[in-house]
Chains A and B, each alone.
Chain A
Amino acid sequence: MASSRDQILKAVKQNQPPVTELPVISDYAQPFTDVVQKYIDVLHAIGGQVHPVSSYPEISSILKSAFNGKSIFSSSLEIEEIIEKGINYKNAHAFADLELAVITSSLAVAENGAVWITEDMVQERVLPFIAQHLAFIIRADDIVPTMHEAYEQIGDADYGFGTFIAGPSKTADIEQSLVLGAHGPKSLLVFIIMSK
């Protein structure tokens, strides 16, 4: 007897209609003039917080005062001074009690507030999900208008895992009341390093 695979493929091939053409994705006119302002507005609307900054030391000082004494992890060497020393994050589970993860990214999307991160930016895939709070550092120049430009930039990059994260983890499953902090981070801070 033919394998399930072969049976399925045979049935699909037999039943699929004549080939239709794949459409070209149009070049949509950019719907907003100020991409950075759009990003800030959208992120606020989806429950995130934004800090436009001019330098890394500014980020360190904001985080230091907000998360004083709590565990902070980041693979960004620029803010090394605030990272908690001496904790051995040997595997994914070791991050279970982490208070704040700080991740630097080079791609964000104005229309939906999302930040793109790939596995190589984080020590463990679970990091941006398991931390109680999450912060991203992006450059203003790295914000693209829509998802079309985002995928253009991603291109054929070969990652093991990549994700768009837009805002803090949330749910509205109980009577459609929005609650931030479902399973992932309860808050999301985005630092935008403004262009000179």
Chain B
Amino acid sequence: MHKETAEHAVLAKKFNQDEQRVEWHDETLWWVREKRDKAARSLPEWEDLRETASKIKNNVLSNLSEYLLAFEEKALQNGIQVHWAIDADEHNRIVKDILQKHEVKQIVKSKSMLTEECHLNDYLQKAGVDVIDTDLGERIVQLAGEPPSHIVLPCIHKKKEEIGELFHVHLGTPAGNADPDFLTAAARLHLREKFLTRKIAITGVNFAVAETGEFVVCTNEGNADMGAHLADVHIACMGIEKIIPQRKHLGVFLRLLTRSATGQPITTYSSHFKKPRSGQEIHLVLVDNGRSRQLGREDFRNSLKCIRCGACMNTCPVYRRSGGHSYHTAIAGPIGSILAPNLDMKEYADLPFASTLCGSCTNVCPVKIDIHNQLYKWRQVLVKEGYTPLAKTMSMQGMAFTLANPTLYKMAGKTGKWFMKKTPFLLNNNLNPWYQQREMPEPPKESFHDWYKKNRNLQNGE
């Protein structure tokens, strides 16, 4: 029942093989974090906005069943067809059934972390459906056969030369051309043709308003709108926690979302879908997939306040140096590490440990999720439930035993120092993961305990 390897560490090691890329990844994300800081500090009311957003979301979670009912009623009145999915399988089946009803085999899809969570693309592809991701970053990772590595910047792990090569192979651009302007223009042409010919478009949802039954989708590229307004059928997929009570609350969240994400004052497009246009269908799929369970976990429920800005990833020293793929889940980084264990404790037992608990994630979160506290609490749950690797559990138990026993503690310290002095190669080698990117410190000449004993005697005696 124990997992043998901490997968995050293994995958991070793979990412760390290319030191220059790690440096670049780290610096680029820190640059995005600094843009966030600049945007946040330009608003004197920033902290008040965060507090307000947090309280609105607390209210949403405390009254979610009523808000869901109100939203459904309004959405139905507006002519939107509402579906409910208990889990990923049901969500995927609902989407497939809509496609089959319309005899559609080719669709466009804009960014939706929920459909990533549900592995919708794989499911539809197995059913013979051609899914084209239309967000540029998502299209790039799709062509590369990879999942997104960041919820806002899906191909942040890729260098432009690699993207140029992908476009050369898949879109026929000239070999060796890696100019971002040129590649974006090529993608524009390639995807325009898809927008104009696909009959069904899938989008995600950023916010759904209980009061009005409308939902809001935010993009910079305009791909969600191009897809939805040109298709006969628009399928929007959302987690049940995306509800907000009133339209005016959008003012709070839209002010926070993009400033936190990229430092922009707002996304280029914040589109409010209330009714289908004439002759068109809008389907909305409300997905639980473990969210109601997380709502019942007192220590972890407020992870459901997340608005998917990615600020916690950009600021995280572990994420920046290990890459999104090392988290082996749709939503990487600190927030992903507190959401994923709810979906599968065994599969994601390693993630709450992929953190230094520095708390930076909590400091930047626009809805004040106490991410680092939850990482710490998940560790305790996972150890209690027996999901942590055996080696870690045993060494922790060993440490607890030693720390609780003064004689043993003194002996262990002396022994450790002797080994560090006489045989540094025993620790500073490839078998000890902690020292793979580090130098061993000089062992101290004497322990504090010995020093104190000596100096106290000096003071008392003479």
Contacts and interface: CB of A to CB of B under 8 A. Distances in A.
A71 B10 CA distance: 56
Interface string A124-149: 11100110000000000000001110
B220 A170 contact: yes
Contacts of A163: 225, 269-272
A5 B86 CA distance: 8
B240 to A, nearest CB: 7
By secondary structure, the B interface counts as helix
Contact of A114 (B158, B266, B286): B266
Contacts of A171: 136-137, 184, 220-221
Interface stretch (B188-196, B358-366, B393-401): B188-196
B95 interface: no
A80 B158 CA distance: 47
Given A17-B61, A164-B266, A175-B160, A169 B248 contact: no
Given A12-B292, A28-B45, A173-B136, A184 B181 contact: no
B78 to A, nearest CB: 8
Contacts of B154: 173
Contacts of A183: 134, 188, 191-192, 195, 221-223, 226
A174 B160 contact: yes
A169 B222 contact: yes
Interface of B: 28, 31-32, 43-45, 48, 51-52, 55-56, 58-59, 61-65, 68-69, 84-86, 90, 134-137, 140, 153-156, 158-160, 163, 180-181, 183-185, 187-188, 191-192, 195-196, 212, 220-223, 225-226, 228-230, 240, 245, 247-252, 254-255, 262, 264-277, 286, 288, 292-293, 295-296, 298, 301
Contacts of A23: 51-52, 55-56, 59
Given A11-B288, A156-B247, A183-B222, A125 B65 contact: no
A52 interface: no
Interface residues of A, number: 74
A55 B173 CA distance: 45
Given A119-B277, A184-B268, A184-B269, 7 more contacts: A16-B295, A22-B245, A93-B230, A126-B229, A164-B269, A174-B183, A176-B32
B275 A160 contact: yes
Query: 6 tightest A-B contacts by CB?
Result: A184-B222, A15-B296, A112-B265, A182-B221, A173-B137, A126-B229
Given A17-B62, A161-B277, A176-B28, A111 B265 contact: yes
Contacts of B181: 177, 179
Contact of A5 (B59, B84, B226, B268): B84
12 contacts: A4-B86, A8-B68, A20-B55, A22-B55, A26-B45, A93-B196, A96-B192, A112-B264, A124-B229, A126-B225, A130-B230, A177-B181
B331 to A, nearest CB: 18
Interface in A147-190: 147-148, 150-152, 154, 156, 158-177, 179, 181-185
A87 interface: no
Contacts of A5: 84
A33 to B, nearest CB: 14
A31 B255 CA distance: 14
A90 interface: no
Given A31-B44, A176-B28, A179-B184, A7 B225 contact: no
A14 interface: yes
| Residue with the greatest number of chain B CB neighbours at <10 A, chosen from A9, A113, A166, A182 | A182
B84 A4 contact: yes
A182 B222 contact: yes
A21 interface: yes
A21 B59 CA distance: 6
Contact of A151 (B59, B251, B286): B251
Contact of A19 (B59, B160, B180): B59
Given A176-B32, A183-B134, A26 B52 contact: yes
Contacts of B270: 114, 163-164, 166
A190 B85 CA distance: 43
A25 B52 contact: yes
A82 to B, nearest CB: 24
Nearest to B135: A173
Given A11-B293, A150-B251, A182-B223, A162 B272 contact: yes
Nearest to A14: B296
Given A17-B298, A26-B48, A176-B28, A129 B222 contact: yes
Contacts of A172: 153, 220, 262
Nearest to B195: A183
A152 B45 CA distance: 18
Contacts of B140: 173-174
A86 interface: no
A7 B226 contact: no
A20 B255 contact: no
Contacts of B160: 174-175, 177
B28 to A, nearest CB: 6
Contacts of B296: 11, 14-15
